[in-house]
């Protein structure tokens, strides 16, 4: 059965101090089925406190999203950067195992370096996948935006190198490169037909082709993605898995717009009925 998750990145941000302790009280108000834990750099200052809290509240968190700087460090390359990336990645694996997650989402490339040194990123994948498996986790690589090539090209290249690789497909990332509709084309049916896509990130996009100024995480209905068409297609593929809603709900005052999030969850639920 398809479940709708809320990204913790939608409810924690700079204005509320990335306070993960908001999770438990908000879980009583939100109409989602669980959460995707978005790891934030500030949490590594006391990772044991994070783990202890998440064990105590015992929420349904089947997915952990690795800290985004991991991909940037891999993209930059070099022994020190790679060592740091692997160190943070293993911490994320440990957190995921501790809280009972089964999927680990990773930006394999990112930052200013993005995909300019893609060989660094593709070469790092086997180590990361093996490490995730040591912790009993399925590693999912996201179709992250690029500044040299495009994510669909890189997903294909990774699939050719590593046939057992699995992906998470992000609607905003795809729309940024005008590649969302490629998902519906026969050329890319291997993504869903052969089970490569194991998870979907759902967020809207209001910009144009590679419009960096508008690369914001919007809730469903606040951009120009045709979600009716998208979800009709997903239903036809008979996808059985989870969707994570990522639309940011943290205001300038640090308050979380619970109503907006619930409207988003209900919209997605209506689409997948």
Radius of gyration of the chain (CA): 18
Question: What confidence score (pLDDT) does residue 190 get?
Answer: 98
Residue 220 C-beta-side C-alpha neighbours within 13 Å: 24
Question: What confidence score (pLDDT) does residue 1 get?
Answer: 81
Report whether 244 contacts 200 (CB < 8 A): yes
How does pLDDT run along the chain (273 residues), one tens digit per residue? 899 999 999 999 999 999 999 999 999 999 999 999 999 999 999 999 999 999 999 999 999 999 999 999 999 999 999 999 999 999 999 999 999 999 999 999 999 999 999 999 999 999 999 999 999 999 999 999 999 999 999 999 999 999 999 999 999 999 999 999 999 999 999 999 999 999 999 999 999 999 999 999 999 999 999 999 999 999 999 999 999 999 999 999 999 999 999 999 999 999 998
Closest by Cα among 170, 64, 165, 174 to 124 = 165
pLDDT one-digit tens code per residue, 199-219: 999 999 999 999 999 999 999
Cα distances from 124 to residues 116, 173, 236, 255, in angstroms, run: 15, 22, 34, 39
Q: Tell me the pTM.
A: 0.97
SS3 218: strand
Rounded-to-integer distance, Cα 163 and Cα 12, Å: 36
- Helices (runs of H) and strands (runs of E) counted in the chain: 10, 8
Could you please report the per-residue DSSP string of 61-90? --EEEPPTHHHHHHHH-SHHHHHHHHHHHH
Say what percent of the chain tops pLDDT 90.
99
Question: What confidence score (pLDDT) does residue 222 get?
Answer: 94
Q: Sketch out the chain's domains with CATH numbers.
A: 3-272 (3.20.20.150)
């Amino acid at each position: 059965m398809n479940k709708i998750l809320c990204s913790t990145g939608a409810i924690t941000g700079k204005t509320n101090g990335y306070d993960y302790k908001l999770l438990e009280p908000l879980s009583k108000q939100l109409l989602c089925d669980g959460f995707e834990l978005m790891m934030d750099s500030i949490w590594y200052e006391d990772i044991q406190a994070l783990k202890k809290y998440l064990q105590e509240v015992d929420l349904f968190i089947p997915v952990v999203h690795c800290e985004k700087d991991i991909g940037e460090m891999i993209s930059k390359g070099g022994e020190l950067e790679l060592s740091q990336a692997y160190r943070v990645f293993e911490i994320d694996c440990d957190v995921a195992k501790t809280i009972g997650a089964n999927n680990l989402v990773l930006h394999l490339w990112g930052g200013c370096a993005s995909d300019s040194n893609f060989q660094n990123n593709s070469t790092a994948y086997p180590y990361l996948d093996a490490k995730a498996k040591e912790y009993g986790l399925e590693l999912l690589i996201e179709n992250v935006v690029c500044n040299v090539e495009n994510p669909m090209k890189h997903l294909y290249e990774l699939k050719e190198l590593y046939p057992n690789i699995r992906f998470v497909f992000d609607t905003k990332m795809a729309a940024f490169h005008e590649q969302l509709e490629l998902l519906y084309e026969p050329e890319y049916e291997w993504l869903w037909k052969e089970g490569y896509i194991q998870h979907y990130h759902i967020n809207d996009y209001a910009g144009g082709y590679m419009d960096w100024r508008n690369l914001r995480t919007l809730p469903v209905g606040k951009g120009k993605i045709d979600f009716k068409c998208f979800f009709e297609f997903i239903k036809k593929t008979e996808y059985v898995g989870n969707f994570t809603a990522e639309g940011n709900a943290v205001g300038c005052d640090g308050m979380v717009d619970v109503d907006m999030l619930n409207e988003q969850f209900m919209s997605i639920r209506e689409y997948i009925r």
